[in-house]
Homo-oligomer: A and B are copies of this chain.
């Protein structure tokens, strides 16, 4: 079973990487960029075939490793 996790910084948390990308885009002549937020996307191939069990496992993976839940939020897509 496939699962996809998107991890983004929580609103209000400074995103230096996003700012760096915005400045770089500006220097390349893209001046209409008002904001950039950058995060991670993680695609997982799981042996688990039950969607609910898979969601439970991936949630636990996010809480333990994939996301720093103090400053990041995550979204899980199963299947």
Residues of chain A touching chain B, judged by Cβ–Cβ distance below 8 Å, are 6, 8, 18, 21, 24-25, 28, 30, 32-48, 57, 60-61, 64-66
Q: Which of B24, B28, B41 contacts A40 (CB 8 A)?
A: B41
Residue of B nearest to A21 (CB): B42
Q: Which of B37, B42, B45 contacts A42 (CB 8 A)?
A: B37
Q: How many chain copies?
A: 2
Q: How far is the CA of A19 from the CA of B4 in the complex (A)?
A: 16
Q: How far is the CA of A74 from the CA of B55 in the complex (A)?
A: 26
Evaluate contact between B46 and A32: CB separation under 8 angstroms.
Answer: yes
Interfacial chain B residues near A32, Cβ < 8 Å: 46-48, 57
Q: How far is the CA of A65 from the CA of B48 in the complex (A)?
A: 37
